[in-house]
Structure 1
Amino acid sequence: MTERAELEVRGLTARYGAVTALDGVDIIARPGSITAVLGANGAGKTTLLRTISGLVPDAEGSVLLGGRELGRTAAETIARAGIAHVPEGRGVITELTVEENLRLGELLGTARRGFRHRLDEVYDMFPALAERRRREANSLSGGERQMLVIGRALLTAPEVLLLDEPSLGLAPRIVARIFELLRELVDTRGLTVLLVEQNARSALSIADTGFVLNLGRVVAADDAASLAADDELRHAYLGF
C-alpha cells in the first residue's frame, strides 16, 4: 500500500451572491479513513465538496492535499492532483455503454498505466456492471448507476474520494452494500474518503471521524462513535 496524502481544509469561505454558504470551515480527512460530513439541508455540505474540487473557484481559504495548496485551482488540475468528486445525482452519460462511461475515468486519471487492471478490479467490485458492460447506461437501476459513478471515480486512481449523498433514493440493502464496499476500499487500499450524507446514522456506522455543519459552520467534530452517542447533538442536527 502506497502512502496516502492528507486532505486539509482551512478557513474555507464560499458565497453565492449575498449568501454565505461556508463560513471559515476547517476540516481534516486523514489518510486511509472515512470522514463523514453531516448536517441538514442547506448546511453547506455540497458546497464544501464543490469548493474542494474546484467547482466554486472564488472561495477564500486553503485546500491542501499532502501539504500542497490546491485552492483556487482549476477543477481539472485538482482532479489530476488526485481528488475524485462523485456529485449528488448519479450523473452518467446514458447514451454510452457502461464500459464507455467507465473509460471516461481514464481521461482524468493520475496514473494511466495499469488502467486495464483497475477496470478489472471495478468489475470484480461491482459484478452487476461487469454483466452489463456492453449495455447503454440508461438501462441501469439507480443503485447500478451509483456503482457506475463510483467505479468511474476509482478508475482515476484518486488519493481522495469525495462522495455527495451516495445513498440518496436507494434501497437500504443497496446503501448497505455501497457503504460496505467503501469501508473495504479504505481498509484494504488506504483510500481517503470524504463522505457527505444526510443519512447520518448509516454514515457514522462506517466513518472514522465526523464533522457536523450548520449554516456553513462546523458545530461539532469528533470520532464517529462519539458523535453517534451524543443525544443532544443527534437530535439538534442529525435527525436520529
Structure 2
Amino acid sequence: MSTSSDTRPADARTTGLEVVGLSASYGPVTALDGVDVSAEPGRITAVLGANGAGKTTLLRTISGLVRPTAGKVLLGGRDVTRAPAEMIARAGVAHVPEGRGVITELTVEENLRLGALLGSSRKRTRQQLDDIYTMFPPLAERRGRHAHTLSGGERQMLVIGRALLSGPDVLLLDEPSLGLAPRIVAQIFGLLRELVDDTAGERLSVLLVEQNARSALSIADVGVVLNLGRVVAVDSAAALAADDGLRHAYLGF
C-alpha cells in the first residue's frame, strides 16, 4: 500500500528504520539511554517492557514529537533525527499513538481519508480505501457512520487503517491492544501479521510497542526488551518467548 513521494529516501523500503544510540530526557529524568533498535522491511519488531521502560518515548522520538539529546534516527539510511514531525511523516513514517485517537464527529470514511492527505492521487486513494475495507470488514460495513458509534476494537482498526492510507514505509504502533478484549486483540494482531506478509513486495517495516508481550511475540519476528530506558535483550521473538528467566524478570508472563 505504499505510495511514492519526493520527500522519501529512495531506499527506505530496502533498509527500513535504524535507531542508533538514541537518548531522550524529560527534564532531569532520562527516558532513553543509548537505545539501538532496527525495524527491517518485511518484519515486525516488537518493543517490550514494563510501564516506564521508555517504549512510548522511543516511538515519539522516532516520529519527531520528542527531541533526542543524543543518537540518530535513520530512515533508509537518511538521518531524520531532528527533522520536524511533519517531514518525518512525509518521509514515510506513520505513527499510531496509544489511545485510538479518532475524530468522533467525522464518519469512518472521512477519518480514513485524513490519512491520504500526504499525497495520493484521487484514483490511488480510492484503491487504498478499498484495500482497507477488505482488510477490516467492520469498517466497510460502517463507512458512513460517525466514529463515535464504533466499538474500541473498531476504533483501533480505524486508526491503523488511517495510518496505512498515508502509504507508509515504517508503521509505528503504540499499545494497540490496550483496553481490548483478548478476542479482538488476537484479531487485530493477526491482521497485522497478514499485512506484513501480504505487502512483502512493498517491504513495510512495523515497530510494535506492547505491554502484552505474549501476544506481541506471537506475531513478531524480532523482540527488543527495554528496561528503564535501556535495551536489555534483542533476539528472535521465538527465542525471547522461550527464555523463562527473561520473561519473568521483564515481561510478566
Tell me the TM-score range normalised by the shorter chain: over 0.9
- CA gap of 1:21–1:28, structure 2 versus 1, over 3 A, is same
Match of 1:20?
30
SS in 2 for 1:96: coil
SS in 1 for 2:118: coil
Which of the residues 157, 161, 172 maps onto 1:151?
Answer: 161
Which of the residues 138, 150, 175 maps onto 2:148?
Answer: 138
Matched, 1:49 2:59: yes
Q: Tell me by how many angstroms 1:107 deviates.
A: 1.2
**What are the equivalent positions in structure 2 for 1:160-179 lying under 5 Å apart?**
160-179=170-189
Matched, 1:206 2:219: yes
The number of equivalent residue pairs is: 239
Q: Tell me by how many angstroms 1:50 deviates.
A: 0.3
8 Å contact 1:4–1:159 — kept in the other structure? no
Aligned AA (1:123):
Y
8 Å contact 2:35–2:231 — kept in the other structure? yes
CA distance in 2, matches of 1:235, 1:189: 34
Matched, 1:90 2:90: no
CA distance in 1, matches of 2:14, 2:198: 13
Cα RMSD (Å): 1.3
CA distance in 1, matches of 2:98, 2:85: 17
* Segment drifting more, 209-218 vs 4-13: 4-13
CA distance in 1, matches of 2:230, 2:169: 26
Match of 2:5?
none
Question: Residues 22-79 of structure 1: CA distance to partner in whole angstroms, max 9, x if unpaired?
Answer: 0000001111000000000000000000000000024421000110111011000000
SS in 2 for 1:37: strand
Q: Tell me by how many angstroms 1:5 deviates.
A: 3.6
**Structure 2: 5+ residue stretches without partners:** 3-12
Q: Tell me by how many angstroms 1:151 deviates.
A: 0.2
Question: Residues 172-201 of structure 1: CA distance to partner in whole angstroms, max 9, x if unpaired?
Answer: 111111111111111110321000000000
8 Å contact 1:4–1:32 — kept in the other structure? no
CA distance in 1, matches of 2:197, 2:144: 31
8 Å contact 2:172–2:207 — kept in the other structure? yes
**Structure 1: 5+ residue stretches without partners:** none
CA distance in 1, matches of 2:181, 2:40: 30
Aligned AA (1:194):
L
What TM-score does the superposition give when structure 2 sets the normalisation length? Answer: 0.92
Match of 1:66?
76
CA distance in 1, matches of 2:52, 2:118: 30
Matched, 1:234 2:224: no
Q: After TM superposition, where is structure 1 displaced by more than 3 Å over at least 4 residues in a row?
A: 1-5
8 Å contact 1:96–1:136 — kept in the other structure? yes
Match of 1:222?
235
